[in-house]
Amino acid sequence: MFAFIQRPATAATLNRLPARVAFPKRKMSSELPKSPIPIFTTVSAYREWRTRAFEEKKSVGFVATMGALHEGHLGLVRRSLAENDLTVVSIFVNPAQFAPTEDLATYPRTLPHDLKALEATTHEADATVTSSRMTAALFLPSVHEMYPSGITQEVSAQKGTFVEVKGYGHQMEGTSRPTFFRGVATVVTKLFNIIQPTRTYFGQKDIQQALLLRRMVRDLILSHPTPDTFYIIPTTRDPISSLALSSRNAYLSDTERELAAPQLAAALRAAKHSWASGGANKASCIQVATELVSTKAQELATAHGIQMKLDYVEMNDPETFDVVPDDVTREVYLREQVGGVEGERPVILSGAMWVGKTRLIDNIVLGDAKHLGIVETS
């Protein structure tokens, strides 16, 4: 499914590209750090660049982020660099997806670090090409330009145009963050309209977001990207603790990060093990995960004064996001598999956990993740 890798024309064209398509009349504010990566702070400057890329028939890969870049983001960027002539990364901390009680004000903003990380992330295109590709453009829009009608985090007071993917944003993460997916769908529609990506890359770490946005691309009949050029990339984890990398991990103290945060992934693995063993129904698999976190929480509170609390662990159907009923076992779930499909019917096992004031999320797909278009890079 992901075998199509666009070959760069020649090393020479690649080396020339950023310079040829990058320097129209872009407004570059003097506070921006110096970088070889062109930074577009306005839609019109970006569009001029994109028009040139269209004319030159260059494919454009796109990675949408809120910044504070880490290896999880960079994995998406590497994939885009490998598969496209040009790669655009956006950094925009989107007010519309934060509830008024959430961490918009304190969300980590680390532009100098982000630029250095993008500069360092180059891809050796292939053995026959001697040059390497670097991110061709960073899109760094203002809140004012992204929300011309204005934006407040209070949904009841909002005015203007918003995008909702009805029926898919109230379950899972939507239960705890009821206005989150409306904010995400709105901003990503705007970003797709602006960036016009040939391909786009989202992370499995935010699995409901990725599946919901791919559905939105299909429902809105977008051409850039299409559902087929919307890629979901497996979660990058800390190689030792298996903690899913996340910008919000920066809020954690060293002991919280080492001892508490990895317990969410451990709880999901424990539930996965129960599910795989056969006889256990969904409720008892979830209970295994819940008990693991509460036992560990007591231990960490006593020994280290760390506050850790599960928000939820749940299993959901990846098509509908419906909760798997409590009494369903793996055998029963698989019996309902629609005929003719290869591999095991997937189910999303996901959770969220508070460590102090930091809310972390994680998920594992049980069964065949290929059905969801999630494939490890070969």
Ligand X SMILES: Nc1ncnc2c1ncn2[C@@H]1O[C@H](COP(=O)(O)OP(=O)(O)OP(=O)(O)O)[C@@H](O)[C@H]1O
Which parts of 14-73 interact with ligand PAF (CB under 6 A)?
Answer: 64-66
Which parts of 173-202 interact with ligand X (CB under 6 A)?
Answer: 202
Residue 73 interacting with ligand X (CB under 6 A) = yes
Residue 206 interacting with ligand PAF (CB under 6 A) = yes
Nearer to ligand X, 73 or 345 (CB): 73
Residue 206 interacting with ligand BAL (CB under 6 A) = yes
Which parts of 5-34 interact with ligand X (CB under 6 A)?
Answer: none
CA–CA dist 324, 314 (Å, integer):
8
Residue with nearest beta carbon to ligand BAL: 206
Among 90, 97, 179, 350, binds ligand BAL (CB under 6 A): 97
Residue 187 interacting with ligand PAF (CB under 6 A) = yes
- Residues involved in catalysis: 73
**Contact of 336 with 345, CB cutoff 8 Å:** yes
Nearer to ligand X, 247 or 350 (CB): 247
Residue 91 interacting with ligand PAF (CB under 6 A) = no
Which parts of 50-69 interact with ligand X (CB under 6 A)?
Answer: 65-66
- Binding mask 41-70 vs ligand BAL (x if CB under 6 A, - otherwise)? -------------------------x----
Which parts of 232-251 interact with ligand X (CB under 6 A)?
Answer: 233, 235-236, 244-248
Residue 94 interacting with ligand PAF (CB under 6 A) = yes
**Binding residues for ligand PAF, per CB under 6 A?**
64-66, 94, 97, 184, 187-188, 206, 209
**Binding residues for ligand BAL, per CB under 6 A?**
66, 97, 206
